Amino acid sequence: MRNDEVIQFPALAAGRMPTPTAAPSKAPGTVLNLVKPRENRAAANRLMAKLARATGPVAEVATIRIAGEIGQTTVREVQRQLDAAPFAEELHLNINSHGGSVTSAFELYASIREHPAARKSARVTQTCASAAIVALLAADHRSAAPEAHLLVHWSAVDTLSARPSDRWTASRHLDAADATLAADRAMLELIVERTGGRRDLFAREMSHEKDMPLPAAVFAGLLHEVDGLFAPCDPTWPERCRRQVGMSARMIGAPNFRFSPSYMAACLAAPRFSR
């Protein structure tokens, strides 16, 4: 996989990097401007959507396509699609991307999370790798085709994007390392937060350049459905589990991942309308 550019300086990519399997612990010396969702903006959007839906018909579903290399062009195109359906009740993300800019991927994540749709689902049609994983995590319900490829890994420095006159001094190397570690930390924190998976498991997964097996992605919470391998998320499942409290802690024969907060949220966010 090629190392796509993340930021101009230090030039980073969600690509290959020799990194220990433990989570990064070095305090970053370079601050990355990774955009985060604004809760006040999200709340305002939900209020406006509620008023709009009460006063007249609005688009029920918006399909958002994320394809190719992720960069600022992708951010603008996705924002255009979101702006075209500001009050949609469901967002369907179709993802086929090998990755690209980590900073742009976090912008996509924030824009999607701030949209007022109550149900946000993502489907990996072919490939979701590198920085594209950040966009995938913006959805509460995540599925994949059985032939899809998933790859999570540490970020990398793209020295090819530097100007020929640039000299890679010790200071420049240290700044690049700090920014790379900051990007790694942000991606790992987001993955753990959104999946509820184990930090050490994902740190190990990010340390190599091998696809993550789809069943492993489901067990870890990165995906919730794979066509033909796992049953679709059932919107009634969370309530059925709630009624089991005081009886048996878990239903006999049900796999553990189906009791995770991530899976429960996926059941509630499963699309009602066909993709």
pLDDT of residue 172: 84
Banded model confidence at residue 151, pLDDT cuts 50, 70, 90 = very high
Q: What is the mean pLDDT of residues 156-164?
A: 72
pLDDT of residue 252: 53
Q: What is the mean pLDDT of residues 190-206?
A: 95
The answer to whether 74 and 105 are in contact (CB under 8 A) is no
List the structure tokens of 213.
């097996």
List, for residues 17-74, the tens digit of each pLDDT value.
333 333 444 444 455 778 999 999 999 999 999 999 999 888 889 999 999 999 999 9
List, for residues 117-143, the tens digit of each pLDDT value.
999 999 999 999 999 999 999 999 999
Which helix (DSSP H) or strand (DSSP E) does residue 264 occupy? helix 261-269
Q: Which pTM does this prediction carry?
A: 0.84
**Which residues make beta-bridge pairs with 157?**
12
Which value, to the nearest 10 degrees, does the dihedral of the CA atoms of residues 207, 112, 91, 82 take? -130
Q: Where are the domains of the chain?
A: 12-229
pLDDT of residue 14: 53
**Which residues, in sequence order, are CB contacts of 179 under 8 Å at separation 6+?**
7, 10, 12, 28, 30, 32
CA 159 to CA 154: how far, in whole Å?
Answer: 16
Burial category of 155 from C-beta neighbours within 10 Å (exposed 0-12, middle 13-18, buried 19 and up): buried
Q: What is the pLDDT of the chain when averaged over all its residues?
A: 85
Q: Which of 26-40, 64-78, 172-186, 247-261 has the highest mean pLDDT?
A: 64-78
- The CATH code belonging to domain 12-229 is 3.90.226.10
The answer to whether 65 and 126 are in contact (CB under 8 A) is no
The answer to whether 102 and 134 are in contact (CB under 8 A) is yes
Which of 73, 95, 61, 92 lies closest to 4 in space, CA to CA?
A: 73
pLDDT of residue 120: 98
DSSP of 118-153, one letter per residue?
SEEEEEEEEEEETTHHHHHTT-SEEEE-TT-EEE--
Residue 100 has, within 13 A of its CA and on its CB side, a CA count of: 20
pLDDT of residue 24: 42
List, for residues 210-228, the tens digit of each pLDDT value.
999 999 999 999 999 999 9
pLDDT of residue 33: 79
Q: Distance between the two ends of the chain, CA-based, in angstroms? A: 30
